[in-house]
Amino acid sequence: MGREVSESCIDSLLTEMVSTYCNRFYANKPELAARRIEAIGYQVGHQLSERYTLERPRFSDHLEAIKFICKDFWSVLFKKQIDNLKTNHRGTFVLQDNRFRWLTRMSIDLSPKNGASEEASIMADNKGVQSMHLYFPCGIIRGALSNLGIPCAVSADISNLPACSFVVRIKA
């Protein structure tokens, strides 16, 4: 079996990377921080996909490659498969992970002393921080699919934490 890295190390690395890009390098430009974090994820996904497909024949269609991402690739990264895969059969795929590992350890501070309006503000701030953490896995998916010859755009939805949906749109 290949080399493995402790989950806590990956969690710390992701947290520090997001913090550094958002608070130091691009403190006033969150869109640039997001693009840079996604680009790092793209490189990681591209290289991991290259490593995990060396012994495999090329995939014959988009669905086969997406299934590889959902089953084999995701299992190596997160020790589980994607929970649900949906498609409209026109180039859009939704990958649902009901307990996305990189979101399960994030704390949400809902102190009882806060009022209702403060609580809504805290929730919005937490969603913003969590969404910055999702640019990296979006980049990993995009990089992996790019290596498989599938140009795409990937976005994430975290409306029901710790569940996360990754929307993959194939570029024509």
The domain tally of the chain equals 1
In tens, the pLDDT along 103-127 reads: 876 655 444 544 444 444 434 444 5
User: In which domain, by residue range, is 127 found?
Assistant: 7-107+119-170
Whether 92 is covered by a domain: the verdict is yes
In tens, the pLDDT along 67-90 reads: 999 999 999 988 899 999 999 989
Q: What local confidence, expressed as pLDDT, does residue 5 receive?
A: 64
CATH of the domain at 97: 3.30.1380.20
Whether 114 is covered by a domain: the verdict is no
pTM over 0.85: no
Q: Which residues, at least 6 apart from 166, have a Cβ–Cβ distance to it below 8 Å?
A: 94, 95, 97, 137, 138, 141, 154, 155, 156
Whether 150 is covered by a domain: the verdict is yes
Whether 112 is covered by a domain: the verdict is no
Helix (H) or strand (E) holding 170: strand 164-170
Whether 154 is covered by a domain: the verdict is yes
Whether 34 is covered by a domain: the verdict is yes
Half-sphere exposure of 139 (CA within 13 A, CB side): 20
